[in-house]
Structure 1
Amino acid sequence: MARELKEVQGIIFKRQKYNEADVLAKIITKNYGIITMLARGALRPKSKLGAALLNFSYGTYIIYTNGHGLSNLRTYKNIKQFNHIFTDINKNAYSSFILDLIDHAFIEYQHIDQYYLLADFALQKINAGVDAEMITQIVQMQLLAAFGVKPELRHCVICRKEKGNFDYSIKYGGVLCSDHFYTDSNRLHLKPKETAVLRTIGLLPAERLGEITISAQTKKATRKAIDQIYQATIDLNLKTKKFLDELNLLT
């Protein structure tokens, strides 16, 4: 396929030095998925490309691409930045983890559909000061489907009951009603409210969730539950997650 000049809208989330003065930057885009761009000469003092490739910059990037491999960045326009994420270590850590998760759920140039909107929603909220951990838990629950392990949250996986007290079963890949707790002795043993939070953040479109306010105890329990689900079903080993966990130990 011949290379074409394309405009892509997206968010920069990884960059590294390449050769002496070049930069490789990963961008999550609305229409073309995740792309790696080569910006030649971006590290030279007179280059304007470097400032447009800082992490958590977003806007329109004009690239030469043939739909696979490296794309060449030619220029850009209307670049802004999630300033509070860029300068705040906690916001930065949560946002980096979110984008790292999405990066591992898809191959480059794969259409990511609603997950770009989810990423943009998450960063907008975190940048605005909304609880970064709660936003991250929303993304984690909604991203399970992209990894091919979409949980059943609407009803009991055994009897399809939709109302009542529920717990989460990794074995069955979804929620169990109290009538069927006995079928999985290794269910997560969550309190009904904790399971209700997982169901809510996993099912509702992110833009309808608004600001979820839950107690620190409940948030800690749902964090632990989500970690268990990911470890058992996907088993990623992300540096961004390790750093986030270290930060949580300090706070």
Structure 2
Amino acid sequence: MPTYTLEAIVLRAREYGETDRLVTLLDRDGVRRTALAKGVRRPRSSLAAGLQPFTYSRLLLWRGRSLDGISQVRVIDGLRGLREDLHSLAAATYVAELAEAFTQEGAPSPGVFNVVLGVLRSLAASRGNTETQALLLRHAEMRLLDLAGVGIELDRCLACGRELGPDRLPAGYSAELGGAVCAACRPGRPGASPLDPAAWQVLRRVRSPALQAVLRLRAEPEVVRRAAEVTATHLVYNLGRPFRSPAFLAILGEVKDGGPVRAAGAGSGAGAAAGDGQRRNGP
């Protein structure tokens, strides 16, 4: 039986039969693969440790007619920090959701693997720091949107075409146009959602491919939440569906802050996208 090896991140696993699991993998080429892990749910399975969600492993697989199977696993980075507190776990789950949304089964998506692994490692290292983790999630959203060719335009007003800056600040975000709208043009776009200069600056800075620059960034949590509403709207508009994990992250935020937090990526993003025009084609 032909075999092959690859390095991959485990995005998720689901039960299959009595003792098996179907495992969703993201390899270094950005290829999403579904593989069968036979007997992994048995108590002494040698595969279990390397196939936990968010683990980065080296795998030996055998080729099957309709589904490949995993025969050996060696952990490269267990990313244990992601499973040591609930917020880190929820954040990692959202990154895995994004990774699945921006990849296709059996087809390469260049650049996605590095973004996903870098963000997961940084989330694990910053456990307990929810402000930094929120910025890391915005980085993941912006980078994956850019790699898919549907990034948010932030450098110029998409209504008049003029460059945005100190003399022409943004005042709104239009999902229909795909980016920022200046204060002069905002009245002509009643379906546009708010985008204030502080949130605009956060989005511009988290877009940087340099993850260390994002880790050095400091921003007020409320500003980051407003930025998250823009990315959530853009994701829904381009992908055609909201994500589940941000709503849970918002609930955790309510518990931490003692007050209500809007669930970016849930109803707020979907509603704003629907009010600003028809959905564009996603990746």
**Kindly tell me: are residues 40 and 191 of structure 1, through their superposed partners in 2, closer, same or farther at Cα, counting changes over 3 Å?**
same
Partner of 1:143: 144
**Structure 2 unaligned spans of 5+:** 257-283
Map residues 151-230 of structure 1 onto 2, 5 A cutoff: 151-157=152-158, 158-164=160-166, 165-167=169-171, 168-202=173-207, 204-207=208-211, 209-211=213-215, 212-230=217-235
For the Cα contact (< 8 Å) 2:30–2:113, is it kept in 1?
Answer: no
Partner of 1:71: 68
For the Cα contact (< 8 Å) 1:171–1:184, is it kept in 2?
Answer: no
Residue 268 of structure 2 corresponds to residue 243 of structure 1: no
Partner of 1:24: 22
Q: 1:169 & 1:72 partners in 2: Cα distance?
A: 45
For the Cα contact (< 8 Å) 2:235–2:242, is it kept in 1?
Answer: no
For the Cα contact (< 8 Å) 2:59–2:73, is it kept in 1?
Answer: yes
**Kindly tell me: are residues 200 and 247 of structure 1, through their superposed partners in 2, closer, same or farther at Cα, counting changes over 3 Å?**
same
For the Cα contact (< 8 Å) 1:5–1:65, is it kept in 2?
Answer: yes
Shift of 1:81: 0.7
For the Cα contact (< 8 Å) 1:56–1:86, is it kept in 2?
Answer: no
Q: Secondary structure at the match of 1:154?
A: coil
Q: 2:50 & 2:244 partners in 1: Cα distance?
A: 25
For the Cα contact (< 8 Å) 1:138–1:201, is it kept in 2?
Answer: yes
Shift of 1:184: 1.8
Q: 1:64 & 1:213 partners in 2: Cα distance?
A: 47
Q: 1:207 & 1:69 partners in 2: Cα distance?
A: 38
Aligned residues: 247
Q: Tell me the C-alpha RMSD between the 2 structures.
A: 2.3
**Kindly tell me: are residues 188 and 237 of structure 1, through their superposed partners in 2, closer, same or farther at Cα, counting changes over 3 Å?**
closer
Shift of 1:148: 5.5
For the Cα contact (< 8 Å) 1:161–1:177, is it kept in 2?
Answer: no
Shift of 1:119: 0.3
Partner of 1:53: 51
Q: 2:107 & 2:69 partners in 1: Cα distance?
A: 18
Q: 1:54 & 1:148 partners in 2: Cα distance?
A: 31
Shift of 1:100: 0.8
TM-score for both structures, normalised by structure 1: 0.87
Partner of 1:9: 7
Q: Secondary structure at the match of 1:17?
A: strand
**Kindly tell me: are residues 104 and 137 of structure 1, through their superposed partners in 2, closer, same or farther at Cα, counting changes over 3 Å?**
same
Partner of 2:107: 110
Residue 36 of structure 2 corresponds to residue 35 of structure 1: no
**Kindly tell me: are residues 4 and 152 of structure 1, through their superposed partners in 2, closer, same or farther at Cα, counting changes over 3 Å?**
farther
1:79-99: CA deviation from partner (whole Å, max 9, x where unpaired) = 431111022110010111111
Q: Match of 1:106, as an amino acid?
A: T
Deviates more, 1:20-29 or 1:88-97: 20-29
Shift of 1:37: 1.5
For the Cα contact (< 8 Å) 1:118–1:206, is it kept in 2?
Answer: no
Identity of counterpart residues, as a percentage?
20
1:28-51: CA deviation from partner (whole Å, max 9, x where unpaired) = 110251111211112223321112
Partner of 2:275: none
Deviates more, 1:47-56 or 1:180-189: 180-189
Q: Match of 1:25, as an amino acid?
A: V
TM-score for both structures, normalised by structure 2: 0.78
For the Cα contact (< 8 Å) 2:155–2:164, is it kept in 1?
Answer: yes
